[in-house]
Amino acid sequence: MKKIVILISGRGSNMEALIAARDAGDLPVNIAAVISNRVEAEGLETAARSGIVTHFVNHKAFPGREAFDARLADCIDQFEPDLVVLAGFMRILSEGFVRHYGGRLINIHPSLLPAFPGLHTHQRALEEGVRIHGCTVHFVTPELDHGPVIIQAAVPVLDGDDEASLAARVLRQEHQIYPRAVRWFLEGKLHLENGRVRLDESLADSAVLVSPEIR
């Protein structure tokens, strides 16, 4: 069975979605470890209760980003994962780290990239007055939030939305598409070609975009 390592910094709700998909039989995967840069991350306890090995690597104990990333990579590599999954890991990763896991490091971002990279995506979407917002699963590259897109989910921005209500609507979709993207990768149904993701012929083109829903 293929193995993944999940990186978190907090609650890890997308980690929870991956664990739930595994337990339901929808994601046949060995979650080899969950690693956090914050010892107080709630997700560590959640993972431990699910029988998953957990580790804590304190970024504050290192003189710089590269030193922390090197120690983090050492921790990850002992599990020999097929894929490294960022699930709310709130660290900007060094170029060396990203290249070390090139083509097997993915992230989920709460916007329809390339729109609204970085932080505070929901508030920025409201301020810009967009009518469609959403989330994106993508491969991680040295350029922040600009890696090749695997799958996206779009949600409508409603007139009565505030940051919290929009974020909640997007998060529900994150929990749907992240297990799907991980499964596709582990099943060999997606490939990187010239900086773009190509899907296996067994997947319909419509699978890469979850259409807007009002909930």
Residues forming the active site: 109
- Please tell me the distance from the alpha carbon of residue 145 to that of residue 35, in angstroms, as a whole number: 21
